Structure 1
Amino acid sequence: MRQDDLPSLLLLPYPPDPLNRASLNAAYRPSLKSALSKLRRPTGASRLVVAVAWPILHGQFLRSKTLSWSEAQALLAGIYSIISIVCAQLSIGTEVDGGPNSVDATVVLIDDDRNKRYTSDFRPAIEPNNTVVVDMATFASAYFPWNLIFSVRSELGFHVYQNYLKFAEGKQTLLQSQLVPVEGGLTLNIAKGESAASPTQTRTYPVVCLGGTFDYLHPGHKLLLTAGALLLQVPRRGDPSPPCRYIIGITGDEMLRNKKFAEYVQTWEERARNVIIFLAQLLELSPRGWKDGTRPRIDEKDGDFKATFRDGTIQIECVRIQDAFGPTITVKEIEALIVSGETRSGGQAVNDKRAEQGWHALEVFEVDVLDAEEVSDEPTKTEENFASKISSTVIRQQRAARGGTKI
């Protein structure tokens, strides 16, 4: 794999507290803008992993970690919004395989407690827990090699950067030119009193489901897919339990024939493959990193796609949707459903249908929207450009104008 084809890494320090769109914008926008600007190249697409250090997991033992789903998805939505806004302003494409002047950015949450101390004989290794979020030592052991590594010029940024380099030692020989400091923002942290309540921890589920078209995978899709993955109850190492299942309904080609610029809609196979490749960045943990440039193995059966990760403890199932309900009314074992603001009403419809069949209702989780208005300095103009950058319809329109590849 050529150096330029490797993904780059941006290490972001701990989020502001309180966490909202305005504080995230102040803290992270300068760093994201600098990294995205440097990766934009007219000769081809670039990839960026944005790793956010955050003591997100709770629990004393590795096998029983929990997290606050509402906080985690709010952080993801805020960062993906900033990425989309910056890319709109800089004319950077955001979709997967977007071609020249595009950056395929993926946000990864890293559990990192700044107060944790390691003994001198500590050796970082891959130590997954019962969630999809890993700690910094595991991240450094499985995510490499990199094209560039961006670090934030701030006290917290330097701490996260040094911590990462300590754990990543020996994984990749890095030249000084590959280590790029970027501007930091303003991070607000308001000390909480002793009476302040901890965020409510969210239960996880053995079978989670969501649905969508996933045409030209972009930041809105990535938010939805990541938020769903955070709800997975991953079996512990050595646990005889079956793998947790992430069932993703992807609209079949026949249902998209009346879409605008339908001739530029990606095939179901391409859309499903991109979903699995994206999730591999969040779920696969290999001591060889992506050194061999290999892609996840996808098993095709009856027209659907399956892939397994983390020694068979996580199973991804991409199934074709031919109606409004998909697998939610054919797979009784599903327990949690992820929806967006646009598909909120669908959650109630699904539960009504399941009730007719005598099945248990699904827990419905709604992700935040990617919103330019809350963090934009130029609401009107930026919001218009922002909407186009995260719309599959407009992406198809742009490809039609360029005479891009049809299905």
Structure 2
Amino acid sequence: MGRDDLPSLLLLPYPPEPSSQSLLNVAYRPSITAALSKLKRPTKASKLIIAVACPILHGQFLRSKTLSWPEAQALVAGVYGVVSVVCSQLSINTEVDGGPGSVDATVILIDHDRKRRFTPDLRPAIEPNNTVVVDMATFASAYYPWDYVFHVRTELGLEVYQTYLRFAEGKQTLLQEQLIPVEGGLTLNVAQGDSPRSATQTSNYPVVCLGGTFDYLHPGHKLLLTAGALLLQVPRKGDSSQPCHYIIGITGDEMLRNKKFAEYVQPWEQRAQNVILFLSCLLELSHRGWKDGTGPKIDAQDGDFRTSFREGTIQVQCVRIHDPFGPTITLEDIDALVVSGETRSGGRAVNEKRAERGWAALEVFEVDVLDAGEISDEPSKTENFASKISSTAIRQQRAHARAFTKI
């Protein structure tokens, strides 16, 4: 892979505490703006991984880590919200396969506590826990090489950056021109003392399910897919006999024929592949990183794409669905369902159908809505923001671009 084909990294320091979408905007918007501006290339698309360092996991032992799902998904939603607003301002397409000038941004949480002390002989090693969130050492060992590494020019930003470089030593030779400092925003942290955080920790589940169209994969889709992954109960490293399962129902092409600009809907196979490629950024851990340029191995059958990550401990299945229920009413052994505000009623309907079959109800989790209302400087920005996270609007843009080229 040439350097221009590699993703870039933006390391963000600890989020504000307590946090909100508006506070995340103040803290992260200058840094995100600088990175996206640098990566907007007129002749090609770029990829950016935004890694947020935060003490998100709790538990003393590797196999008993927990997180607060509402807190974690709200943080991911807040960062994707800032990304979408900035991209709207800079006229940057945010979807996967967005074409020249686009930036495909992915938000990843890294479990990192600045109070943790590291011994001089500590070396990076891939040591996943029972969640999909990894620590800084594991991240540095599995995520490389990079085109650019952006780091925040604040005390906390430099602290996170120096810790990362220590763990990443020997993975990639980075030129000075690849290491780019960017301005940071204002981060407020209200002292909580030494008492444990009050957020209720969320159970993890062996089988998690969600559904959607996933046409022109955009930040709203990425938030939904990330939120579902955060619920997975990952088995012990190397134990692939009882893997956790992540089932994604993807609307079949025939159900989308009446959508606006339906002729620009991506084929099911392309949408399924993009979902798996996105999830590989969250779930795959390899000592080789991605320097060999190979992606996940997909067992592609008609309407059923499957792959595995982390030595077979995480199984991902994308299935074609022909109704609003999909596998939730054909597979009894599903534990949790992730929905958006738009599909909240669908979650209730699923459990009603399962009750008719005498099956246990699914635990339903609702992700936050990406909303520019709290973080936009001008009222008109909200409309532009919405156009960046709507598959229909993206198809409309494609249609107008095609029409323009024919004139």
TM-score between both structures, scaled by the size of structure 2: 0.97
Equivalent residue, structure 2, for 1:398: 397
Which amino acid in structure 2 is aligned with residue 389 of structure 1?
K
| Partner Cα separation in structure 1 for residue 147 and residue 302 of structure 2 | 39
Equivalent residue, structure 2, for 1:134: 134
Equivalent residue, structure 2, for 1:278: 278
Post-superposition, which runs of at least 4 consecutive aligned residues in structure 1 deviate over 3 A? 193-197, 238-241
Which amino acid in structure 1 is aligned with residue 82 of structure 2?
I
Assess if the C-alpha contact under 8 Å between 2:43 and 2:101 holds in 1: yes
Assess if the C-alpha contact under 8 Å between 1:235 and 1:241 holds in 2: no
Assess if the C-alpha contact under 8 Å between 1:110 and 1:139 holds in 2: yes
CA displacement at 1:302 relative to structure 2? 4.4
Equivalent residue, structure 2, for 1:215: 215
| Partner Cα separation in structure 1 for residue 238 and residue 195 of structure 2 | 39
Equivalent residue, structure 2, for 1:358: 358
1:182-221 matches, within 5 Å, as 182-192=182-192, 198-221=198-221
TM-score between both structures, scaled by the size of structure 1: 0.97
| Partner Cα separation in structure 1 for residue 252 and residue 302 of structure 2 | 14
Residue by residue over 1:23-50, the C-alpha shift from the partner in whole angstroms, topping out at 9 and shown as x without a partner, is 1011000000010011001011000000
Equivalent residue, structure 2, for 1:314: 314
- Report the secondary structure of 1:383's partner residue: helix
| Partner Cα separation in structure 1 for residue 260 and residue 302 of structure 2 | 29
Equivalent residue, structure 1, for 2:325: 325
Equivalent residue, structure 2, for 1:47: 47
| Partner Cα separation in structure 1 for residue 242 and residue 193 of structure 2 | 43
Which amino acid in structure 2 is aligned with residue 67 of structure 1?
L
Which amino acid in structure 2 is aligned with residue 119 of structure 1?
T
Assess if the C-alpha contact under 8 Å between 2:240 and 2:312 holds in 1: no
> Are 2:12 and 1:12 equivalent residues in the alignment?
yes
Equivalent residue, structure 2, for 1:33: 33
Assess if the C-alpha contact under 8 Å between 1:338 and 1:365 holds in 2: yes
Assess if the C-alpha contact under 8 Å between 2:239 and 2:313 holds in 1: no
Equivalent residue, structure 2, for 1:266: 266
Taking structure 1 as reference, are residues 381 and 328 closer, same or farther at Cα in structure 2, changes over 3 Å only?
Answer: same
Assess if the C-alpha contact under 8 Å between 2:246 and 2:317 holds in 1: yes
Assess if the C-alpha contact under 8 Å between 2:240 and 2:313 holds in 1: no
Assess if the C-alpha contact under 8 Å between 1:30 and 1:184 holds in 2: yes
| Partner Cα separation in structure 2 for residue 85 and residue 240 of structure 1 | 41
Equivalent residue, structure 1, for 2:159: 159
CA displacement at 1:339 relative to structure 2? 0.3
Assess if the C-alpha contact under 8 Å between 2:238 and 2:313 holds in 1: no
Equivalent residue, structure 1, for 2:381: 382
Residue by residue over 1:285-336, the C-alpha shift from the partner in whole angstroms, topping out at 9 and shown as x without a partner, is 0100000111111002343000000000000000011011000001111110
CA displacement at 1:240 relative to structure 2? 6.3
CA displacement at 1:130 relative to structure 2? 0.5
Equivalent residue, structure 1, for 2:342: 342
Assess if the C-alpha contact under 8 Å between 1:56 and 1:111 holds in 2: yes
| Partner Cα separation in structure 2 for residue 195 and residue 281 of structure 1 | 34
Assess if the C-alpha contact under 8 Å between 2:9 and 2:49 holds in 1: yes
Which amino acid in structure 1 is aligned with residue 43 of structure 2?
T
Which amino acid in structure 1 is aligned with residue 235 of structure 2?
P
Taking structure 1 as reference, are residues 24 and 181 closer, same or farther at Cα in structure 2, changes over 3 Å only?
Answer: same
CA displacement at 1:401 relative to structure 2? 1.2
Residue by residue over 1:42-92, the C-alpha shift from the partner in whole angstroms, topping out at 9 and shown as x without a partner, is 011000000000011111111111000000000001000000000001000
Assess if the C-alpha contact under 8 Å between 1:126 and 1:285 holds in 2: yes
1:64-143 matches, within 5 Å, as 64-143=64-143
- Report the secondary structure of 2:260's partner residue: coil
CA displacement at 1:192 relative to structure 2? 2.2
- Report the secondary structure of 2:14's partner residue: coil
Runs of 5+ consecutive residues of structure 2 not aligned to the other structure: none
Assess if the C-alpha contact under 8 Å between 1:94 and 1:219 holds in 2: yes
- Report the secondary structure of 1:403's partner residue: helix
| Partner Cα separation in structure 1 for residue 36 and residue 329 of structure 2 | 42
Which amino acid in structure 2 is aligned with residue 383 of structure 1?
T
Between the two proteins, the alignment pairs up a number of residues equal to 403
Assess if the C-alpha contact under 8 Å between 1:22 and 1:375 holds in 2: yes
Assess if the C-alpha contact under 8 Å between 2:240 and 2:311 holds in 1: no
Which amino acid in structure 2 is aligned with residue 308 of structure 1?
S
Assess if the C-alpha contact under 8 Å between 2:256 and 2:262 holds in 1: yes
Which amino acid in structure 1 is aligned with residue 274 of structure 2?
N
Which amino acid in structure 2 is aligned with residue 384 of structure 1?
E
Equivalent residue, structure 1, for 2:59: 59
| Partner Cα separation in structure 2 for residue 313 and residue 158 of structure 1 | 35
- Report the secondary structure of 1:76's partner residue: helix
Which amino acid in structure 1 is aligned with residue 48 of structure 2?
L
Residue by residue over 1:91-122, the C-alpha shift from the partner in whole angstroms, topping out at 9 and shown as x without a partner, is 00000010111000000000001111122221
Assess if the C-alpha contact under 8 Å between 1:144 and 1:172 holds in 2: yes
Cα RMSD over matched residues? 1.1
CA displacement at 1:196 relative to structure 2? 7.5
Identity over the aligned pairs, expressed in percent?
Answer: 76
> Are 2:367 and 1:367 equivalent residues in the alignment?
yes
| Partner Cα separation in structure 1 for residue 256 and residue 180 of structure 2 | 43
CA displacement at 1:197 relative to structure 2? 5.3
CA displacement at 1:5 relative to structure 2? 1.1
Equivalent residue, structure 2, for 1:289: 289
| Partner Cα separation in structure 1 for residue 230 and residue 388 of structure 2 | 25
Return 110-119 or 6-15, whichever deviates more. 110-119
Taking structure 1 as reference, are residues 300 and 88 closer, same or farther at Cα in structure 2, changes over 3 Å only?
Answer: same
